[in-house]
Amino acid sequence: MKQYIFRDKDGKVALIAWPNWALIGWGSFSLLGRFTQWKQLAWIGTAFLLVWALLEIFLGVNYFRRALGLAVLVLTLGKLLA
């Protein structure tokens, strides 16, 4: 079981995937929302982060990525609902 936490179906260690459009969107819109007067851009960034988390939960290549997606989803929803 331990060997499958960080490895994909081919046995390669997979921690990050590049390019990751959802994380790029989150970072871009979050920075734009922080440094401009359009605070709605930060909300779009949060939407990108939620999409990334859901993609990782359902399509993540290993258990680490799926757990990371779940943790980000829980923390982001907790921040939004607080």
Give 40-55 pLDDT, tens digit per residue: 998 999 999 999 999 9
CA distances from residue 62 to 16, 24, 28, 29 in whole angstroms, order as listed: 11, 21, 26, 28
List residues bridging with 7 in a β-sheet: 13
pLDDT for 17 equals 74
Residue 45: exposure state from Cβ atoms within 10 A (0-12, 13-18, ≥19): buried
pTM value is: 0.85
Q: What is the DSSP letter of 57?
A: H
Tokens describing residue 15: 């921690």
pLDDT digits (tens, 9 = 90+) for 3-59: 778 887 777 787 777 778 999 999 999 999 999 988 899 899 999 999 999 999 999
Residues of the chain with pLDDT > 70: what percent?
96
